[in-house]
Amino acid sequence: MRTQVGIVGAGPAGLMLAHLLHQQGIEAVILENRSRAYCEGRIRAGLLEQWSTDLLIALGVGARMQREAMFHDGNYVLFNGELHYLDFRELVGQGVTIYGQQEIVKDLIAQRLADGGQILFEVENVSVHDLDTEKPRIRFRHGGIDNDLVCDFIGGCDGFHGICRPSFPAGALATYEREYPFGWVGILSESPPPEDELIYAYHERGFALYTMRSPTRARLYVQCKPDDDVADWPDARIWEELHIRLAGVRKLEEGRIIDKVVTPMRSFVVEPMQSGRLFLAGDSAHIVPPTGAKGMNLAFADVMVLARAIEAFYRADRTDLLDGYSRVCLRRVWKAQRFSWWMTQMLHRFDFSNAFDMRRQLAELDYLATSHAAQITLAENYTGLPLELPE
């Protein structure tokens, strides 16, 4: 088999990369080791920065989002039993969109198939080879048959647990990492969310987030221990914590829980994001804690940079944009890391015995609730810094 760009992984990064390339007349094949149903059903975060929303619309894959998503102008911060509204639209002139990641995955898969593009699901034994040559190869097994996909470039879009990052030559990657002493237990509930827009709650018992998927489906998270299992969180315990952390502010309606997950919290970056003709994009290169809601947006930013660089290679024989890929991506990645870390450190209990930390966090939240400058800083980062693409 032969194609121009071989893409490992059909998550938001791989699917968006294929779509961007297709629009430039560049051929790609996506290899995904899970089934289509699995990819379309996996519930993850679902918050789009303004430019990501605009991008989906501009690329012709935003029609269902425009009908079904929830467009938010701001959000709430809750501490000391008081809700404070941050009006992003007024502060920085843009907002955010709530639209489940799996809905975007469904829309991008449907578009790709309508465009006649190839996605091979349920491939096995994927491995990448000859990265330092002009004809890198992806080996895989599909339908019981071993194949070689020879390409010009490989998009390593296979997430944090994928095979592309471990295929870099020994010693080629520097890893920057931070683990947090907590995770989130998250539920999807058949009940209305307590507010029209998100509530980020700081409480002496730990963080809680009140978000949503629709006016009748709440998505709720509470801070838990890092090694907790869903079995540690029976439904009644989750509701009890949510009621306590939202106490006196809004009435929380309980509903049937239709999904429950524990998410570990991690900050992770590798540098560089390129080895020869292999380019990492999205979670394969970096992970942010979900507090800043940046994961999918960073994946889109990476593939925008990559698609532009590949297009310049075919159109104008340019290699400078390919060479600059890591540098350009990592500038944005590190700003998103900083912001995600900042939101996380402000809103979670790290050490429950440390009263100094709690006083400091409450002061930071008080500053945010009362300072226009602090609110602009949060709003600018949360709704998305401008995407900078090299000429």
State the Cα–Cα distance between residues 360 and 347, nearest whole angstrom.
11
Q: Kindly name the residue from 200, 210, 221, 325 that is annotated as catalytic.
A: 200
Phi, psi of 93 (to 5 degrees): 75, 15
Site string for ligand APR, 126-165 (x = CB under 6 A): x------------------------------xxx-xxx--
249 close to 105: Cβ distance less than 8 angstroms: no
Q: Kindly name the residue from 19, 290, 325, 348 that is annotated as catalytic.
A: 290
Q: Kindly name the residue from 19, 72, 203, 348 that is annotated as catalytic.
A: 72
Answer yes or no: 85 catalytic.
Answer: no
Is 39 a binding residue for ligand APR by CB under 6 A? The answer is yes
Minimum distance, C-beta of residue 351 to ligand APR, in the bound complex (Å): 27
Is 45 a binding residue for ligand PHB by CB under 6 A? The answer is yes
Closer Cβ to ligand PHB, 47 or 322, answer by number: 47
Burial of 323 (0-12, 13-18, 19+ CB in 10 A): exposed
Q: Which of 290, 300, 312, 346 binds ligand PHB (CB under 6 A)?
A: 290
121 close to 28: Cβ distance less than 8 angstroms: no
Answer yes or no: 294 catalytic.
Answer: yes
State the Cα–Cα distance between residues 24 and 308, nearest whole angstrom.
9
Is 10 a binding residue for ligand APR by CB under 6 A? The answer is yes
Answer yes or no: 72 catalytic.
Answer: yes
Query: Minimal CA–CA distance to 303: which of 174, 156, 165, 163?
Result: 156
CA-to-CA dists, residue 49 to 184, 260, 300, 381, angstroms: 22, 25, 10, 9
Is 75 a binding residue for ligand PHB by CB under 6 A? The answer is no
State the Cα–Cα distance between residues 166 and 376, nearest whole angstrom.
39
Q: Kindly name the residue from 19, 22, 203, 294 that is annotated as catalytic.
A: 294
Minimum distance, C-beta of residue 32 to ligand APR, in the bound complex (Å): 5
CA angle 50, 54, 59 (to 5 degrees): 150
List, as one string, the DSSP characters of 162-225.
Answer: -STGGGSPTT--EEEEEEEEEEEEEEEEES--SSSS-EEE--TT--EEEEEEETTEEEEEEEE-
Instruction: Tell me the residue length of the chain.
Output: 391
Answer yes or no: 325 catalytic.
Answer: no
Sign of the four-CA dihedral 321, 323, 329, 331: negative
Q: Which of 8, 18, 28, 208 binds ligand APR (CB under 6 A)?
A: 8
Using CB distances below 5 to 8 A depending on partner kind, what does residue 252 bind out of ligand APR, ligand PHB, none?
none
Closer Cβ to ligand PHB, 48 or 269, answer by number: 48
Using CB distances below 5 to 8 A depending on partner kind, what does residue 53 bind out of ligand APR, ligand PHB, none?
none
Query: Where does this chain bind ligand PHB (CB under 6 A)?
Result: 45-47, 98, 198, 209, 211, 219, 290-291, 293
Query: Where does this chain bind ligand APR (CB under 6 A)?
Result: 8-14, 31-34, 39, 44-45, 101, 126, 157-159, 161-163, 282-283, 295-296, 299
What positions carry a catalytic annotation? 72, 200, 290, 294, 382
